[in-house]
């Protein structure tokens, strides 16, 4: 019974979850003409390398530039996000004050309330940051704050206060206490936030669409989308593009699989 | 009375002591970077949206027109349909993720053969970008060449135009959304299920309870916190959804799969910034009115436990 159910489940999951991805890979290996048939079949003529080169070099290396932009966007946003959210989560958990009540309210608001897009465009424009990568980085940090603060706060509650006291008695400044004692202890949550937010920001479409228009600064998701609307019949290149931009999140997942699960669950279920 | 005052005094002195330590150790300026970002890029735009939604606005120039944008939003059928679709989308995706996510999590925490493999497989779509998933399903659900209808054809069924039939498009996208987001719901449920002590089930079995009875009176009540998390996450995501719809149908055919998110973008693209912002305020109200009571209710239950 155990075996029958297990094998049935595996078979169903392969059809529902694996076959679509095999389909992507197969299409990415085909010539343009053959890919347009959308058949689930082994390519008659392998064109994997040709497709790869064509996707990257097309339109003046726009995909390569987009990869660079997306990498800068992701690394910068996530780095700053981790530090800023960890600081808030830490003080929020450790120190009761009126500010904490206000901060609590804003964290919940940040989780629930949909951002007002056009007024945000207006704010970015008045700061001269509209359509720039730094502008989008600040936006991504802001929108990631609420969730990250929650995770950090939940984790700080598991670090004993006696540790802080020992460090203070040893003469550590608040700054050192946080960065040299607490931050290293928070590594599990830091990793979780890094992985979850990197995948999120790297895969983000709506924010770059609104706040980073134009080809110069396009992110990978924007180029993929624009590519789709421009060339409806080049399924081989489209799927090669999807394949290419799924690699970074996939690598993240393979390396940090266990940690994501542990961190997500401790934050999401108990927090 | 005296007991009460001593208690108050004790509380006061304890509070005084900790805040003495915290003032040195936990500086409030740690809030500052987050506060500035939040204020500039979230709070100000949100407050400004209430004003701008009452104007005819071109980013350079604005003219106050009162509630005209809102009147237009609810009077024009295609805009109003986006409102209704948003509710259908939010509640249906959320409900399906709860039911299927829990069922799968129960299956995957049992002694099933290959459960580790299954867990990774279900989580895999979470990693692919929504745009990528959208394009992929556009190919798979193609009414003529698509694999799904090809498979149905071998069974002798003529498949519908999943994304091209106005009556069906929204529900097809809901299906894709569930396919993509199931991994997270399942993961949260697995964490909740693993935390339930196995003794409870053993005791139930000794008492002669059926598997269904054990599920109903042990599992269901004890995974409530996980259910709360799944509902909140998927409702917020579902009500705000935009990119999957934009990648698959662009709100079409006609306006049949438009949601508030896509209406906001269309109006923005067309240069109707005031109307677009009014859409945002409508979304804000919808999400708040639905989410605040739900999160209060779920939090209360957790405390009672």
Chain A contact for B38 (CB, 8 A cutoff): yes
Q: Are B164 and B257 in contact (CB under 8 A)?
A: no
Residue B119: band (very low, low, confident or very high) from pLDDT cuts 50, 70, 90: confident
Distance CA B171, CA B92 (A): 9
Rounded CA-CA distance A239/A244 in Å is 8
Could you tell me which residues are beta bridge partners of residue B63?
A: B56
Q: Is the Cβ–Cβ distance between B215 and B173 less than 8 Å?
A: no
How close does chain A come to B291, measured CA to CA in Å? 7
| Contacts with A270 from chain B: Cβ below 8 Å | 225
Residue from the list B28, B34, B139 with its beta carbon closest to the beta carbon of A235: B139
Q: Report the pLDDT averaged over residues B196-224.
A: 89
pLDDT-based confidence at residue B23 (cuts at 50, 70, 90)? low
Q: Which residues of A29-59 are buried (b: 16+ CB within 10 A; e: fewer)?
A: bbebebbbebbeeebeeebeebbbebbeebe
pLDDT tens per residue, range B265-289: 999 998 889 889 999 999 999 999 9
pLDDT digits (tens, 9 = 90+) for A47-82: 888 889 888 888 888 889 999 999 999 999 999 999
- Cβ within 8 Å of B, A 44-83: none
Instruction: For residue A18, tell me if it sits in a domain.
Output: no
Distance CA B269, CA A128 (A): 21
Phi-psi region of B190 (alpha: psi -120 to 50; beta: other; left: phi over 0): alpha
pLDDT at B8: 44
Report chain B's mean pLDDT, rounded to a whole number: 85
Say whether the peptide bond before residue B72 is cis (omega within 30 degrees of 0): no
- State whether B288 and A9 contact (CB < 8 Å): no
Closest to B251 measured CA to CA, from B238, B237, B264 = B264
Structure confidence at residue A85 (pLDDT): 96
pLDDT above 80: residue B299? no
B139 to chain A: closest CA residue: A38
- Decide if B295 contacts B80 (C-beta within 8 A): no
The domain that holds A201 is classified in CATH as 1.10.3720.10
pLDDT reported for residue B21: 55
Neighbouring-strand partners of residue B64: B55
Cβ neighbours of B71 (radius 10 Å): 12
- Cα torsion A181, A185, A189, A193: sign: positive
Task: Using a CB–CB cutoff of 8 Å, tell me whether A116 touches chain B.
Answer: yes
In a domain, A229, yes or no: yes
Q: Which two tokens stand for residue A39?
A: 């058949």
Contact A116 B140 (CB under 8 A): no
Question: What are the beta bridge partners of residue A119?
Answer: none
Which residue would you say has higher pLDDT here, A9 or B180?
Answer: B180
Is the pLDDT reported for residue B15 higher than 80?
no
B46–A85 CB contact, under 8 Å: no
Predicted confidence at residue B288, as pLDDT, reads: 92
Where does the pLDDT of residue B17 fall: very low under 50, low under 70, confident under 90, or very high at 90 and above?
A: very low
Mean pLDDT computed over A238-253: 90
pLDDT of the residue at B93: 97
Task: Give the range of the structural domain holding residue A156, as residue numbers without chain letter.
Answer: 60-267
Spatial contact of B8 and A65, defined as CB atoms under 8 Å apart: no
Q: Is A145 in contact with B121 (Cβ distance < 8 A)?
A: no
Q: Is the model's pLDDT at A36 over the cut of 90? A: no
End-to-end CA distance of chain B: give it in Å, rounded: 31
Closest residue to B130, CB basis, from A84, A205, A239: A205
Quick check: B147 and A24 CB within 8 A?
Answer: no
Q: A187-218, pLDDT tens digit by residue?
A: 888 988 998 899 999 999 999 999 998 877 88
Q: Which of B38, B126, B268 sits opposite A117 (nearest CB)?
A: B268
Interface test with chain A among B14, B15, B29, B42, by most A beta carbons within 10 Å: B42
Residue found by looking up tokens 């020992």 in the block: A166
Residues paired with residue B62 on neighbouring β-strands, in sequence order: B57
Task: Say whether residue B44 is in contact with chain A using an 8 A CB cutoff.
Answer: yes
The conformational region for residue B112 under phi > 0 = left, psi -120 to 50 = alpha, else beta, is beta
Contact B218, B109 (CB under 8 A): no
Interchain proximity A203–B281, CB inside 8 Å: no
| Candidate from A95, A117, A261 with C-beta closest to B264 | A117
Q: Confidence band (pLDDT; 50, 70, 90) for B301?
A: low
Write the ipTM.
0.89
- Whether residues A113 and B125 touch (CB distance < 8 A) is answered with no
Strand (E) or helix (H) holding B57: strand B55-57
B289 touches chain A (CB under 8 A): no
SS3 category, B143: coil
Asked whether residue B16 carries a pLDDT value surpassing 90, the answer given is no
Which pLDDT belongs to residue B33?
A: 95
Q: What is the number of domains present in chain A?
A: 1
| Model confidence pLDDT, tens digit, residues A102-160 | 998 999 899 889 999 999 999 999 999 999 999 999 999 999 999 999 989 988 988 88
Q: Tell me, what's the pLDDT at B4?
A: 45
Is the entire prediction scored with pTM above 0.80? yes
* Helix, strand, coil tally for chain B in percent (to 5): 75, 0, 20
A201 occurs within a structural domain:
yes
A87 and B31: CB-CB below 8 Å? yes
The residues, ordered by sequence, that sit 6+ positions from A182 with a Cβ below 8 Å of its Cβ are: A86, A90, A156, A159, A164
Q: Residue A119 domain-assigned?
A: yes
Residue predicted with more confidence, B1 or A4: A4
pLDDT > 70: what percent of chain A?
Answer: 94
- Is residue A231 situated within a structural domain? yes
Determine, for residues A145 and B38 on separate chains, whether the beta-carbon distance falls below 8 Å.
yes
In this predicted structure, what is the pLDDT of residue A206?
94
3-state secondary structure labels for all residues of chain A:
CHHHHHHHHHHHHHHHHHHHHHHHHHHHHCCHHHHCCCCCCCCCCCCHHHHHHHHHHHHHHHHHHHHHHHHHHHHHHHHHHHHHHHHHHHHHHHCCCHHHHHHHHHHHHHHHCCCCHHHHHHHHHHCCCCCCHHHHHHHHHHHHHHHHHHHHHHHHCCCCHHHHHHHHHCCCCHHHHHHHHHHHHCHHHHHHHHHHHHHHHHCCCHHHHHHCCCCCCCCHHHHHHHHHHHCCCCHHHHHHHHHHHHHHHHHHHHHHHHHHHHHHHHHHHHC
Per-residue pLDDT of B133-163, as tens digits, reads 999 999 899 888 888 888 888 888 888 889 9
Q: Which of residues 122-141 of A touch B (CB under 8 A)?
A: 122-125, 127, 138-139, 141
């Amino acid at each position: 019974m155990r075996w029958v159910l297990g094998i049935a489940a595996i078979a169903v999951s392969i059809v529902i979850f694996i076959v679509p991805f095999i389909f992507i890979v197969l299409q990415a290996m085909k010539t343009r003409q053959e890919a347009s048939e959308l058949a689930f079949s082994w390519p008659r003529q392998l064109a994997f390398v040709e497709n790869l080169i064509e996707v990257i070099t097309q339109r003046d290396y726009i995909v390569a530039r987009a990869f660079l932009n997306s990498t800068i966007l992701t690394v910068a946003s996530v780095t700053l996000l981790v530090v800023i959210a960890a600081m808030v989560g830490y003080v929020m958990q450790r120190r009761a004050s009126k500010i904490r009540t206000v901060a609590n309210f804003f964290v919940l608001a940040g989780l629930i309330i949909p951002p007002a897009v056009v007024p945000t465009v207006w704010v970015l424009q008045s700061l001269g940051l509209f359509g720039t990568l730094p502008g989008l980085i600040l936006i991504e940090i802001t929108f990631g704050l609420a969730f990250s603060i929650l995770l950090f706060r939940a984790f700080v509650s598991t670090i004993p206060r006696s540790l802080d006291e020992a460090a203070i008695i040893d003469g550590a400044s608040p700054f050192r206490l946080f960065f040299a004692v607490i931050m290293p202890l928070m590594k599990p949550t830091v990793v979780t936030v890094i992985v979850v937010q990197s995948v999120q920001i790297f895969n983000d479409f709506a924010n770059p669409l609104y706040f980073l228009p134009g080809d110069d600064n396009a992110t990978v998701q924007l180029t993929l989308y624009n590519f789709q609307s421009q060339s409806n019949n080049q399924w081989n290149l489209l799927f090669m593009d999807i394949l290419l931009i799924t690699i970074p999140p996939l690598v993240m997942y393979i390396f940090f699989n266990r940690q994501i699960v542990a961190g997500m669950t401790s934050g999401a279920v108990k927090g | 009375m005296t007991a009460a005052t001593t208690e108050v005094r004790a509380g006061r002195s304890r509070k005084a002591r900790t805040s003495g330590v915290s003032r040195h150790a936990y500086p409030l300026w740690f809030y500052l970077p987050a506060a500035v970002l939040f204020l500039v890029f979230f709070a100000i735009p949100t407050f400004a949206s209430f004003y701008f939604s009452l104007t005819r606005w071109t980013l350079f120039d604005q003219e106050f027109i009162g509630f005209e944008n809102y009147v237009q939003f609810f009077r024009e059928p295609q805009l109003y349909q986006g409102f209704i679709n948003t509710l259908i989308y939010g509640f249906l995706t959320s409900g399906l993720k709860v039911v299927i996510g829990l069922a799968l999590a129960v299956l995957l925490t049992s002694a099933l053969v290959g459960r580790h493999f299954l867990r990774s497989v279900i989580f895999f779509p979470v990693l692919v970008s929504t745009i990528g998933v959208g394009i992929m399903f556009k190919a798979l659900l193609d009414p003529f060449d698509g694999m799904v209808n090809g498979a149905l054809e071998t069974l002798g069924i003529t498949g519908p135009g999943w994304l091209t039939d106005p009556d069906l498009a929204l529900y097809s996208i809901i299906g894709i959304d569930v396919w993509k987001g199931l991994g997270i719901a399942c993961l949260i449920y697995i964490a909740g299920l693993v935390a339930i002590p196995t003794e409870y089930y053993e005791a139930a079995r000794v008492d002669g309870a059926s598997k269904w009875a054990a599920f109903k009176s042990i599992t269901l009540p004890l995974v409530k916190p996980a259910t709360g998390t799944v509902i909140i996450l998927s409702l917020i995501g579902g009500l705000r959804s935009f990119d999957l719809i934009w990648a698959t149908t662009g709100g079409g055919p006609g306006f049949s799969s438009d949601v508030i998110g896509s209406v906001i973008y269309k109006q923005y693209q067309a240069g109707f910034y005031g109307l677009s912002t009014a859409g945002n305020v409508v979304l804000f109200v919808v999400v708040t009115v639905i989410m605040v009571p739900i999160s209060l209710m779920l939090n209360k239950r957790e405390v009672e436990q």
